[in-house]
Amino acid sequence: MVNIYDSRKEQLCIGPYFWMPFPHVDFWLQQDDQYILKNLSTSPLAEPPHFVSHIRATLMYLKEHPFPDKTLFPSRKPWIYRKNSDGLWERVTPDQI
């Protein structure tokens, strides 16, 4: 498990992450909801209603970013998030660090 929260700085530090392209992403995106639920869940009868839509969103993300070092983390620096005055996480720009 990766620790992404720095309690001293009160910020989240995400990445950089790298993964290999997912070879069969198009196959999985073409499958119906029942097939995805049956084959990509460890407990299909207990999954929440949004399970399949989250899996599809994750697969699309992997498809859109097969090489995250090029598209998401080209500078090889992490994404830093801090809570704003409303208590919501906001990404910090490099000049704010």
Q: Would you give per-residue pLDDT tens digits along the chain (97 residues)?
A: 678 999 999 999 999 999 999 999 999 999 999 999 999 999 999 999 999 999 999 999 999 999 999 999 999 999 999 999 999 999 998 766 6
Q: What is the pTM of this model?
A: 0.81
Domain range annotation of the chain: 1-16+77-97, 23-73
pLDDT of residue 3: 87
pLDDT of residue 95: 66
What is the CB neighbour count within 10 angstroms for residue 68?
17
What is the CB neighbour count within 10 angstroms for residue 7?
7
